[in-house]
Amino acid sequence: MILSGRRRAGAMSPLALCLSLLLFISSASAAVLGIDFGTEHIKAVLVKPGIPFDIVLTKDSKRKEVAAVAFKPTRDAKGNFITEAGSYPERAYGGDALSLQGRFPGEVFPNLKFLLGIPSGNEGQSTTSIYKERYPGLQLQASEELGTTVIKSSAFPEDERAFSVEELVAMQLANIKRNAQNMAGKGSSVDDVVVTIPPFYTADERQAIMKAAGFAGFQVNGLISDGLAVGLDYAKPRTFPEVTKGEQPEYHMVFDMGAGSTTATIMRFQSRSVKDTGRFNKTVQEVAVVGAGWDRTLGGDALNHVIVDDYVKKLLTKPALKSRGTTEDEIKQNGRIMARFWKEAERARQILSANSEVNSGFEEIMPDIDFRTKMSRTEFEKLTESFADRVQTPIKDALKMADLKVEDLNSVILHGGAVRTPFVQTKLQGAVDDQAKLRSNVNADESAVFGAAFKAAALSPSFKVKEIRDSDVAGYAATLVYDDQGKERRKPLFEPNSPVGSGSTTKQVSFKDKEDFSFGFVQNVGGVDRPTLRVQSSNLTASVEELIRIAGCGKESIDTKFSVRLGLPLGLPDVTGGSVSCEVDPSKKTGSIGDSVKGWLGFGKGDQQPLDDEADGPVEQVDAKASASSGSAASSSTAAASSSKAPEPPKKQTEVIPLKWTSTTEGNPQPAPDAITQVLQRLKDFDLSDKARYARDEAQNVLESYTYTVRDFLENKVYEKVSTKEQRDLISSTLQSTKEWMESGDLSKASTETLKEKREALKKLVEPIQLRLRESTGRSETVEGLQKSLDKLQKGILRLESAASKAAASIASAATASSETSTTAGSKAPSDLDELEGAETETSPTPSETPAAINPYEGMDLTTVNETYNSISTWLKETIAEQEKLKPYEDPVFLSRDAQRKSEQIARALEDLVQKTTKAKAAKAKKPKTTKSKTTKPSKATADRAADGEEPVPADAAPEDSSAAKQHETHEAADPEAAEAPEQKPVKGGESIEDMLKWMKKDGKKETPDREHEEL
C-alpha cells in the first residue's frame, strides 16, 4: 500500500514521461565537442549518443591539428598576387598551412593564441613585439576600433579590411567543426563545445576566445582551465577519500608546460555524501582548484627562439655573408629564412630531448649559400639557463595561493610536450620532496582535451556521466567600483583563489542609493585595474517611490541590494539578482503593494523574498554603504548583535520589489553590430568560395581520371563486338581533343561547368557501348529468372482455382447428404435409451437447424492476378522476339532493370495469392454457429454422472480444436487438391452410446499435429 503524500521511487507522471521523450527525441542526434586550443596544436574529442569519447581526426588522419591557417593566393604571369574584389584565396590549415611559409611567409598565420585578446597598447606591446620577431613576414597593425592587433593580407585588395585575430582563430575552429561533423555523420549536429584556456587568461582573452568560437558557429557551454581539465580526466576512473566520514582529501598538482606557457594547478580531490532524491543519499566526487601559478612566456616556443637566435649568429659568421655586409636585422626581417629556422628549431629541440646532439642543414638559405650547423645538449642547456631558473616559479606561486607545502601534495601530474625536456625534468625533481611524486599517469598530450569533452558531456542534457562536481579559481582579484557622492569608491569582492563553479560564493552587496545608479567591476592584472563590466539599474527610482507611497516605508530604511557571483562560462563577476526592500509594521503600514501593481511596473510578485538565499554555494553579505574598513566593522558588529540574546521585537513584514538592470561588457572595445555582420559575411563568403573550389577541383580530378578510363576502354577488345569502328573512332577523336585541351593551359581557367561538360561529352559516347556489353552478358540470366517467376505465378493461380472448384463441389455434396440425414433422424421412433439420453421438452430438430455450409473461396477475385500474368507473359515474348532481330552493336530493346520491375510486379501478385489463400483457410477453419430451436433437459442420472465427472462431452459441445478436426485441417492445408470431406457426425438426438464413448476416447488422446507451411 502506498501512503498518501509519498511518491513511489521511479514513478513518473504522464506529463513528465512525455517531456522526457520529447527531450530524448530532440537531443538524440546532438553531439558535443571538447577542444584543447593550444598554442601549437588544436585537439578535439567528440561525444555522441552511442559513441564513446573519440578523438577527432584531421583530414590527414592525425590526432591533432597544427594551430595555423594560411591563404594561398594566385599569381599572374609576372608573379604578382591576383587581388580582385569579391574573390577569395584558397585556405589551408594545419601542416598544409605551415608548408606554405617558405613561399608565402606573409600569408601564414601560426600560433595565434599568443595574440588572442591582447591589447594593442602599452600593456600588450611586449607580447606583440615577440610575435612580430618570430614571424617577421606578417603585417601586424594596431586597430583603434578593436583595441587589439589585426593582420593585413596581401592576397586581398589594399582597401580590404584587415583580419582580426578572433576571425582567423574562428577559421581554425570552423575547420575543427567540419572534421567533427564529418565524423559524427549525417543527422547529427555539433554545436555545443567546451574549450580549454590557461588559468592566467584575463577577461579580455576569455571574451576573445568566446567571440572566435561564436564566429565559428559554436555555442560555448563552458570554458575550463587546462589544469582542471586534466584533473577531470584524472578523476574519471577513480574514487577519492570521503570527507563526510572524516577522511582527508588528496592534493595533486598538474604541471603543464606546453608550447606557449607553463602552469601549475593544485587541486583538491575528495568525495562527499550528499542528499539524493527522496530519502536517499549519494556519494559524489569533487575536484576543486585551490591554487594556480603560471609563466606566460615559458614554453617550447621560448626554447625554440633560443635555437633560432643561435642559428642567426652562426650564419653571420660565414665569410660569404661578411663579404656582402649582411646584418643580423636583415636576416631576422627575412620571413622565408626565419620560417625555415623556426621549423628546424622545433625539430632540433625535440631531438635534443632524447639525444646528445643534433645536426641541422639548410640548402640555399640565402642565394648561393648553404648553411649547416650542429648543437649539443650541453650547449642547448647553457643557452637556456635563464629559462631553467623559471621552471619552479609557477609551482611556488600555486603552493602560495593554495596555502600548502610541497609535502602536502600526493603527486605532481606531468602534462604538455615541453615537460620531456631534460633540464625541466631535473628542475622538477628538485622542486618536490620525493621524486616518486612525479607521475606520468595521464596522457601528456590528450588528457586536457578528454577532460574538456567530459565537461561538455556533463553540461549537456543528452548524456549521463559520472557525477563530478568541479570548481576553478578566479585567477585575478575582482573589485567593485561605484560612485559615492561624486567620489569613486572601490571595494574588493573576490580574491584570486575565489571559487568559480560548484560551491562558488554569492556576494549580496548593499548600496545606499535610492535612485537609479551604475556600478562596475575591474580585474586586477599585474597591478593594473582593467574594467570588465558596467551595471546600470533601470527601475530603482520608481521602486523606492512605490515602497514609500504604498507600503509606507521610510526612505532611510529602504535597502538596495545586488547579488554578485563569479558567473559561468567566463568566470567573471556577474550580477544575478537585485532588489529593493524595507521592513514595515503590518499594523501601521498604509497599504500593500499588490501583485497587479508590481506586475504593471514590471517589479515581480509580492510573495518574493529578499535575495538572502542561494541554492548553490554560500551567501556573503557585503556593505557598500561605507569604506571597506568601516564595512567590515559594520558586518562584525551586526554579527555580534545578532548572536547576543535580546527581547524578540514585534514581527515585521518585508516588502520587496525586484530590480531591473542592464549589463555592458567593458575592456577591449567591442565591435559594432555592423562590423560583426561584415565578419560573419566574409567568413560565409570564404566558405562558399572554398566549396566552389573543392567542387571544381573534384570535377577536374574526375575528368582526368575518366580520360584514363576511356583510354583503357578503347584498348579493350571485348567492346569491339558491341560497337562499330565508326563509334570507336569518334570516341578516340573526342578523347584526343579533350587531352589537347587539358594540356593547352586552359584547364586551370576552366569553370566547374566546363569540366563537367567535357566529361559528359565522353560519357555519352562510351556508356551506351558499356551498357550493351553488360546487357548482352546478363540478359539470358535475367530472362530465365523472369520466366521462372511467371511459371511460379501460373502454378499458384491454377492451384487456387482448382481448390476453389473442388471446395464448391464438396459443399454441394455435403448439403445434399445433410438434408437426407436430417429427414431420417426426424422420423426415428423413440428408443428405450431415452432415459439415458434425456427427455426433450420439444420436438426433434428440423432440417433448418443444420449448420449452413460456407464456401471459403466464394467471392474470390483473381482478375488482377491473371491480368498481371498475361501482360508480363505477352511483354516477355514480344521483347525477346524483337531483341533477337537486333545486331550486337545496336541498343537493346529492353534492359535488365525493366525485367527487374516486371519481377517486382510478379512478386506483388504472388503476395496477393498468398493473402487470398490464407483468408480462405481461416474461413474454412471457422465453424459456423447453429441456431437451436429446442433445449434438452438432462435426466437425473445423467446429471449425477456429470457432477461426478463421468458424463462424456456432447457432440455439439466438443472443442473445435479436436484431433480429428485438426487432422482434417492439416491435410487440407498441405494439398488443397487432396482434401477429403470431413467426417459426418450424427445429428443431435440420434447419437448412440458407442458414438459418445468413441468421442470421449478421442478427447482423452488429443494430439495436435504440426502444421505444414504451404508455399505457392
With beta carbons less than 8 A apart as the criterion, state whether 194 and 173 touch.
no
532 shares a domain with 557: yes
167 shares a domain with 306: no
In this predicted structure, the answer to whether residue 851 has a pLDDT above a threshold of 80 is no
| pLDDT for the residue numbered 926 | 64
Question: What is the DSSP-derived secondary structure letter of residue 3?
Answer: P
**639 falls within a domain:** no
**857 falls within a domain:** yes
598 shares a domain with 487: yes
Residue 336, domain extent: 300-388
DSSP string, 700-712: HHHHHHHHHHHHH
706 shares a domain with 793: no
For residue 777, count CB atoms less than 10 angstroms from its CB and return exposed for 0-12, middle for 13-18, buried for 19 or more: exposed
Give the Cα separation of 562 and 883 in Å (integer): 90
In this predicted structure, the answer to whether residue 815 has a pLDDT above a threshold of 80 is no
Domain C-terminal end among 141, 169, 190: 190
Strands 619-623 vs 506-511: parallel, antiparallel or unpaired: parallel
Q: Which of 115, 71, 112 is nearest to 93 (CA)?
A: 71
In this predicted structure, the answer to whether residue 42 has a pLDDT above a threshold of 60 is yes
pLDDT in tens, 232-260: 999 999 999 999 999 999 999 999 999 99
- Report the SS3 class of residue 195: strand
**248 falls within a domain:** no
Domain C-terminal end among 755, 775, 795: 775
pLDDT in tens, 899-911: 888 889 889 888 8
End-to-end CA distance of the chain: 58
pTM of the complete model: 0.75
With beta carbons less than 8 A apart as the criterion, state whether 481 and 522 touch.
yes
pLDDT in tens, 331-353: 999 999 999 999 999 999 999 99
pLDDT in tens, 72-99: 988 776 777 877 777 899 999 999 999 9
| pLDDT for the residue numbered 583 | 85
Q: φ, ψ for residue 561 (rounded to 5)?
A: -130, 145
**What is the enclosing helix (H) or strand (E) of 564?**
strand 559-567
Q: Predicted confidence band at 890 (pLDDT cuts at 50, 70, 90)?
A: confident
Number of neighbouring beta carbons within 10 Å of residue 889:
17
Give the Cα separation of 557 and 555 in Å (integer): 5
pLDDT in tens, 150-160: 999 999 998 89
Number of neighbouring beta carbons within 10 Å of residue 162:
16
**255-to-141, 285, 475 alpha-carbon distances in Å:** 35, 22, 16
Dihedral sign from CA coordinates of 742, 747, 750, 756 = positive
| pLDDT for the residue numbered 920 | 77
**139 falls within a domain:** yes
In this predicted structure, the answer to whether residue 662 has a pLDDT above a threshold of 90 is yes
| pLDDT for the residue numbered 967 | 41
Give the Cα separation of 197 and 200 in Å (integer): 8
pLDDT in tens, 281-309: 899 999 999 999 999 999 999 999 999 99
| pLDDT for the residue numbered 397 | 96
789 shares a domain with 766: no
- Can you tell me the mean pLDDT for 162-188? 94
**449 falls within a domain:** no
- Can you tell me the mean pLDDT for 540-546? 92
771 shares a domain with 868: no
pLDDT in tens, 477-506: 999 999 988 889 999 999 999 999 888 889
Domain C-terminal end among 759, 775, 791: 775
Q: Predicted confidence band at 726 (pLDDT cuts at 50, 70, 90)?
A: very high
CA atoms within 13 A on the CB side of 418: 27
DSSP string, 28-91: TTEEEEEEEE-SSEEEEEEEETTEEEEEPP-TTS-SSEESEEEEE--B-TTS-B---TT--PEE
In this predicted structure, the answer to whether residue 892 has a pLDDT above a threshold of 50 is yes
Q: Predicted confidence band at 12 (pLDDT cuts at 50, 70, 90)?
A: very low
Q: What CATH number corresponds to the domain at position 753?
A: 1.20.1270.10
In this predicted structure, the answer to whether residue 534 has a pLDDT above a threshold of 50 is yes
**809 falls within a domain:** yes
834 shares a domain with 970: yes
**Look-up of cell digits 432415459:** 835
With beta carbons less than 8 A apart as the criterion, state whether 309 and 295 touch.
no
788 shares a domain with 766: no
- Can you tell me the mean pLDDT for 22-36? 68
Q: Predicted confidence band at 850 (pLDDT cuts at 50, 70, 90)?
A: low
Strands 149-152 vs 139-142: parallel, antiparallel or unpaired: antiparallel
The residue among 702 and 966 whose pLDDT is bigger is 702
Q: Predicted confidence band at 921 (pLDDT cuts at 50, 70, 90)?
A: confident
804 shares a domain with 788: yes
- Can you tell me the mean pLDDT for 113-137? 90
- Can you tell me the mean pLDDT for 11-37? 61
**892 falls within a domain:** yes
**227 falls within a domain:** no
Q: What CATH number corresponds to the domain at position 130?
A: 3.30.420.40
Total structural domains in the chain?
Answer: 5
| pLDDT for the residue numbered 595 | 46
Q: Predicted confidence band at 587 (pLDDT cuts at 50, 70, 90)?
A: low
759 shares a domain with 656: no
Give the Cα separation of 477 and 479 in Å (integer): 7
**What is the enclosing helix (H) or strand (E) of 487?**
strand 487-494
859 shares a domain with 751: no
In this predicted structure, the answer to whether residue 442 has a pLDDT above a threshold of 90 is yes
Q: φ, ψ for residue 611 (rounded to 5)?
A: -75, 75
Which range among 104-118, 423-437, 451-465, 613-627 shows the weakest confidence by mean pLDDT? 613-627
| pLDDT for the residue numbered 858 | 73
In this predicted structure, the answer to whether residue 655 has a pLDDT above a threshold of 80 is yes
Q: φ, ψ for residue 501 (rounded to 5)?
A: 110, -135
931 shares a domain with 792: yes
Q: Predicted confidence band at 456 (pLDDT cuts at 50, 70, 90)?
A: very high
**What is the enclosing helix (H) or strand (E) of 282?**
strand 281-295
